[in-house]
Structure 1
Amino acid sequence: MDIVKILCNELNIGEIQVKNTIKLIDDGNTIPFIARYRKEATGGLDDATLRKFYERLSYLRNLQAKKEEVKRLISEQGKLTKEIEEAIEKAETITEVDDIYRPFRPKKRTRATIAKEKGLEPLANIILGQEYKENLLEIARQYIDEEKEILKEDDAISGALDIIAEEISDNAEYRKFIRNITFKEGIIVTKAIKQETSPYEMYYDYKEAVRTIPAHRVLAINRGEREEFLSVKIEAPVEKIISYLEDKIIKREKDKEYLQRAIKDSYQRLIAPSIEREIRNELTEKAQEQAIKVFAENLRNLLMQPPVKGKVVLGFDPGFRTGCKVAVVDETGKLLDTATVYSTAPQNDIEGSKKIMKELIYKYNVDIISLGNGTASRESEIFISDLIKEIEKESGKKIYYVVVSEAGASVYSASEVAREEFPNINVSLRGAISIARRLQDPLAELVKIDPKSIGVGQYQHDVSQKRLDETLKGVVEDVVNSVGVDLNTASVSLLSYVAGINSSIAKNIVEYRERNGKFKDRKELLKVKRLGEKTFEQCAGFLRIPESENPLDNTGVHPESYGVCIKFLEVLGLSLEDVKNRNLSNLDELVEKNGGAEEIAKRINCGLPTLLDIIKEIKKPGRDPREELPPPIFMSSVMEIEHLKPGMILKGTVRNVTDFGVFVDIGVHYDGLLHKSQISDKFIKHPMEVLKVGDIITVKILEVDLRRKRIALSMKDI
């Protein structure tokens, strides 16, 4: 099996790219490092492609190992033929290899093995060979043996047919055909087990083609079956399958009813249940991959939300019985004060709550209120809206509020990370701090929470948790490294996602910083315990030091390229002082005057992709790519769902993207659903082709269902 060739064809990339990338991975380089600093070797493969490359490489290597293992096992039985070896080599999936190995796998006692123990295998071979001229009953009579419980001819024939049925079931060629035709023409049928109101009512009498059923419906059906609301089966094209097997097996008319019996038994008893399991497993795996992909993309876009910098923020964690928790943080996220107000039921102390809130807002000159969107959010939004109006009327002070997702805030509150940050702050108040900070810098705050707890997906509990965890951590790692991390302010949680740095090294970095003060330059990292040359190579380019004397330490330029960068500046008649003083407004013009980037790259012996990255970085030292995205919508008044009318045009923020549509926050507490059919006049396969989490969009109200609190939206004809 030529793994390099397969990867070339599947990913549509060159052989040299594939070989270089495999070597970089095998040498222990991280995906973010390869994506950013080894573009010449990989041909510019991005982090998403590299992760796909890595997963596929791992699968193909596992497939190769499986092939070698199966060949060894069959060879040990003395049954490895040239044909079997060729079939194994041609197999493209682990399932195909398993099919080939099936006849040789040690079996539990089956009807066929029992028949073989009774000595009926020769009779099975005679029936299957179809070359006998005698009467089959006469032949079968020779196998009657009371001690073996073969009392009559039909007992012998039945046992022989059991052996034939198992042989048919074990045939890799037959199984491949049956699997393919069942997948292409099969129908998934679901029925109600109990007639109760449930989320699965649309599936109580439901049919859909196997090959077209979307991922979210597969996972919904699986859950309905698991919760014992649904029975699920696949209706296969049985007549075509039986006809195919008969054409393959039956060579003459004489006694064909016996083989027909074996074929029917083999399919119904052995093949059909097994193939149905395989297909449903395959559908589930694909559905899980799709759900994980959606979750990952939503998480990526959520983490890339622009930070709200330079603002004093009041975090408001709404609640009922135990009150609403309040925390004020300064422009850097430092905690200034906390409080608890009882603006909601059962206390409804509106005036007392306003008094406390005003004191905090005036004392710390709060700019924005960050409101969590959980329980009691609607009631709290009304309270905050009224409060803002009163403050503006009393003092003329302009203040706004933003509704933010509080997913994972409670997980953070009780975490070890939160205990270390705020050992003397009550658990319930830590959530309000998180809600305030996640407006100021969503990435820095959300990395403290298990990605699975952030809740921007669909059916996240129905997928492989190990696979979900690996994928989401990969997303966080890619985002953290694409944004860059301030080495002198980053938390252990944030540093742990930097390429090459694990949690223990992250702790060592913070301990070194606390003991020795701020890092003065990137080279100082090498003084950190257990941070060696390899780790430094992987992480250095992603860490920023704004205070460093060398301005390149505050860019994405890797230390290994500092010399190249200085040569480049010298060609243009510039120096590091110009980078430090940001005197590079005419940089593009100077590059063109000196022959263009490609010509300069040759002169200074540098790869063009590396030079283009250097140019981009030194133009804006300390650049944060998130700041180029639209900021969140700031609000000062609340609107009720009862105010909505069909035809109204509103601005909204995309909160979640699923396979079937997009949930949009339009400022009425209940997110509206923008079905994928209402996103564009053109056909789109998935909402992600057009929209992502955090997008600010204009929508039209199509329908408002007050009883079920559902809002239907459209982006068409606006």
Structure 2
Amino acid sequence: MDIVKKLVEEFQLKPFQVTNTINLIDEGNTIPFIARYRKEQTGNLKDTVLRDLFDRLNYLRNLKDRQEEVIRLIEEQGKLTDDLRKDILESETLQRIEDLYRPYRPKRRTRATIAKEKGLEGLANILLAQKVDKGELDGIVKRYLDEEKGVNTEEEALEGAMDIIAEIISDDAKYRDIIRNIANNKGILQTEGVEKQQKSVYEMYYDYKESLKTIANHRILAINRGEKEKVLKVNLVLPNEEILSKIKSKVIINDSIETKQYLEASIEDSYKRLIFPSMEREIRSNLSERAEEEAIKVFALNLKPLLMQPPVKGETVMGIDPAFRTGCKVAVMDDTGKLLDYTTVYPTEPQNQVDKAKKELKDLIFKYDVDIIAIGNGTASRETEMIVAGMLQEIDKNLSYIIVNEAGASVYSASEVGQEEFPDLDVSIRGAISIGRRLQDPLAELVKIDPKHIGVGQYQHDLNQGKLNQALEGVVEDCVNTVGVDLNTASPSLLRYVSGISSRVAQNLIEYREEKGKFTNREELLKVKGLGPKTFTQCAGFLRIPEGNNPLDNTAVHPESYPIAKKLMGKNIDENNIEFLSKEFGVGTLTLKDIITELKKPGRDPREEMPKPIFRTDVLKMEDLKEDMILTGTVRNVVDFGAFVDIGVKQDGLIHISHLSNKYVKHPKEIVKVGDIVQVRILEIDIDRGRISLSMKDV
């Protein structure tokens, strides 16, 4: 297999792009480093493409290794033919290789192996050959009777031979291909409720069927969960008669022969007992894998804009983690995120200490000159919002509030990171700090939380956790390196996502900073324990030193390009002169353009280009809503069937996929992403069920 050629075809790239990318990966370079600092070699491939190419490269390498392994194993048995070798080497999936290897795989003791031990393999081959003349079969069968081996009757001999034939048919890759093709085109997934009178979220699946070709990924995941919770029974329904007819037409080449009835029985037994159960498992597994892969992609797409939300800089923030019985935890942070003060107030049920709570909040607001209040969107969020909105009308200060997604705040509160940051604080107070800091710098705060707990996916706990973690860690890594990290203020949680830096090296950086004081230039990195020249190359360009002794250290210019950057500094660069300068300095045009961009806007934060959050001063209740009302909202989550939008009331509204655009939409991700500010029209309000239907059509 020519892996480079295959990747070139699949990704529609040029050979040099694929070859260079593979070489860069094999040399130990990280994806963020390759994407940012090796653009000439890759032809400016984006980090997302590089990660997909990396994943596919690993699959194809595993495929090639398995091809060689299976060829070796079959060759050791002395059963490898030129045709079989060719079939294995031309296999494009691991499933196909395993199908071809199936007849040669060491087996546990089966009905067929027992029949072979009784010496009935020859009889099975005679039946399959279909060359028995009329009236000869009885005599042939009698030759295989053997009391010592337990073959006492002709019926026993024929049954044993049929068991062998059934296994031969089951192990034949071409028959499995036929069944797989029919199943994928005509198969149906059928579900029914275990207790149909029982109310549950799975009621639509109590009597449900859908074609395998059309079933949506989110429905597959819902059905899987319902089955796991023992609420649903799930069956695969295939056109059995068509499948059997197809296999019989391939196996039975002589309709008039008296072996036909035994071959037909063998085929039916093979399909029912051996092929269908394994095929059902395979198809269900493939459906789940397909659905999981799409869910992971959507999760990753949602996570990126959430992490890349613009920071709210230079503002003193009050974070509120709402609750009922245990009270609302309050924390005040200065514009750097440093904790200034904290308390607990009880304005909600059952205490209802509204006036007392307002007074305490006002005291903190004026004492620390709070600019913005961040309210978590969990339990008691809207009740707390109403109290805060009412309080804002009572004070003479330019102050606003915002609802912040608090998913994962409780995970952070109880985590080792949270304990290390605030060892003397109650767990719940840490949650309020996290909510406030998420507004000040979403990326720096959210990296402290396992990405899958951030709450922008669907069925995340049902997905393959290894694949999910790998995908989400990649997204976080790309975001952190796109933004860059302040070397003198970054937490270990943030530093460990920087290209080339391990958790151990991140901790060493913190210890060096605590011992020696602030870093003054990037060269000091080489003095940190465990950070050698190779790691320096990978990480240096992503680490910023805003107040260092070299202004280039506060840019994304890599130290390897400092000589060129210094030649450019102070020059009036003509954009039309890039090609000439590129040749003069001996550097690629893409790298040169990046250097010029950095020199024009040193310390640029790419998040500033993202949609700004919506700040509010008054509360909107569900009862205030009317059909056809036009509102501005923030996209909170994107799923297969639509997008959930915060429009300022207790319940997020849903824009169904059919109402995202006037044109056909294959997936909501084509139209919206998390964090987008959108104009929506209210279609329907169901106060009893707490549901709001929205539309972006004709707004």
Q: Name the TM tier (shorter chain).
A: over 0.9
Cα deviations across residues 18-65 of structure 1 (Å, max 9, x unaligned)? 111111101100000000000111111111011111111111111111
Query: Taking structure 1 as the reference length, what is the TM-score of the superposition?
Result: 0.95
Cα deviations across residues 142-190 of structure 1 (Å, max 9, x unaligned)? 2223343333212211111110010000001111121122111111111
Q: Distance between the aligned counterparts of 1:462 and 1:676, measured in 2?
A: 23
Q: Distance between the aligned counterparts of 2:430 and 2:228, measured in 1?
A: 37
Q: Does 1:285 align with 2:286?
A: no
Aligned pairs for 1:423-434 (under 5 A) are 423-434=423-434
Aligned pairs for 1:111-130 (under 5 A) are 111-130=111-130
| Greater mean alpha carbon deviation, residues 9-18 or residues 94-103 | 9-18
The residue identity in structure 1 corresponding to 2:497 is: Y
Aligned to 1:584: none
Question: Is the partner of 1:332 in helix, strand or coil?
Answer: coil
Aligned to 1:380: 384
Question: Is the partner of 1:390 in helix, strand or coil?
Answer: coil
Question: Is the partner of 1:58 in helix, strand or coil?
Answer: helix
The residue identity in structure 1 corresponding to 2:126 is: I
**Superposed displacement of residue 240, structure 1:** 2.4
Cα deviations across residues 669-693 of structure 1 (Å, max 9, x unaligned)? 2100110100001001111101000
CA contact (8 A) 1:166 1:270 kept: yes
CA contact (8 A) 1:342 1:348 kept: yes
Aligned to 1:494: 494
Aligned to 1:259: 263
The residue identity in structure 1 corresponding to 2:636 is: R
Q: Structure 1 vs Structure 2: percent identity of aligned residues?
A: 61
Aligned to 1:177: 178
Aligned to 1:582: none
Aligned to 1:302: 306
CA contact (8 A) 1:190 1:206 kept: yes
Q: CA RMSD in A?
A: 1.1
The residue identity in structure 2 corresponding to 1:663 is: F
Q: Distance between the aligned counterparts of 2:590 and 2:239, measured in 1?
A: 54
Cα deviations across residues 537-568 of structure 1 (Å, max 9, x unaligned)? 00000111111232211111100011122233
Q: Distance between the aligned counterparts of 1:183 and 1:277, measured in 2?
A: 13
Q: Distance between the aligned counterparts of 2:427 and 2:252, measured in 1?
A: 74
Q: Distance between the aligned counterparts of 2:567 and 2:316, measured in 1?
A: 43
Question: Is the partner of 1:267 in helix, strand or coil?
Answer: helix
Q: Distance between the aligned counterparts of 1:566 and 1:635, measured in 2?
A: 46
| Greater mean alpha carbon deviation, residues 595-604 or residues 410-419 | 595-604
Cα deviations across residues 554-611 of structure 1 (Å, max 9, x unaligned)? 1111000111222334xxxx26xxxxxxxxxxx5xx314xx52122111211101101
Aligned to 1:591: 574
Q: Which runs of 5+ in 2 are unaligned?
A: none
| Greater mean alpha carbon deviation, residues 134-143 or residues 690-699 | 134-143
Aligned to 1:135: 136
Q: Does 1:453 align with 2:453?
A: yes
Q: Distance between the aligned counterparts of 2:6 and 2:239, measured in 1?
A: 33
Q: Distance between the aligned counterparts of 1:145 and 1:516, measured in 2?
A: 88
Q: Distance between the aligned counterparts of 1:602 and 1:544, measured in 2?
A: 29
Cα deviations across residues 638-691 of structure 1 (Å, max 9, x unaligned)? 111111111111110000000001000000021001101000010011111010
Q: Distance between the aligned counterparts of 1:27 and 1:77, measured in 2?
A: 38
**Superposed displacement of residue 299, structure 1:** 0.7
**Superposed displacement of residue 132, structure 1:** 1.9
Q: Distance between the aligned counterparts of 1:318 and 1:193, measured in 2?
A: 39
Question: Is the partner of 2:390 in helix, strand or coil?
Answer: helix
Q: Does 1:239 align with 2:241?
A: yes
Cα deviations across residues 292-338 of structure 1 (Å, max 9, x unaligned)? 11111111110000111111100000011111100000011111000
Q: Does 1:670 align with 2:640?
A: no
Aligned pairs for 1:247-646 (under 5 A) are 247-253=249-255, 254-255=257-258, 256-391=260-395, 396-569=396-569, 574=570, 587=572, 590-592=573-575, 595-646=576-627
Q: Distance between the aligned counterparts of 1:673 and 1:349, measured in 2?
A: 34
**Superposed displacement of residue 634, structure 1:** 0.4
Aligned to 1:583: none
Question: Is the partner of 2:230 in helix, strand or coil?
Answer: coil
CA contact (8 A) 1:328 1:337 kept: yes
CA contact (8 A) 1:568 1:604 kept: no
Q: Distance between the aligned counterparts of 2:138 and 2:41, measured in 1?
A: 72
Question: Is the partner of 2:515 in helix, strand or coil?
Answer: helix
Q: Distance between the aligned counterparts of 1:507 and 1:148, measured in 2?
A: 70
**Superposed displacement of residue 426, structure 1:** 1.6
Query: Taking structure 2 as the reference length, what is the TM-score of the superposition?
Result: 0.98
State the aligned residue count: 695
**Superposed displacement of residue 613, structure 1:** 0.9
Q: Distance between the aligned counterparts of 1:14 and 1:46, measured in 2?
A: 15
Q: Distance between the aligned counterparts of 2:488 and 2:37, measured in 1?
A: 23
Q: Distance between the aligned counterparts of 2:166 and 2:494, measured in 1?
A: 59
**Superposed displacement of residue 697, structure 1:** 0.5
Q: Which runs of 5+ in 1 are unaligned?
A: 576-586
| Greater mean alpha carbon deviation, residues 339-348 or residues 243-252 | 243-252
CA contact (8 A) 1:568 1:600 kept: no
Aligned to 1:162: 163
**Superposed displacement of residue 507, structure 1:** 0.9
**Superposed displacement of residue 68, structure 1:** 1.2
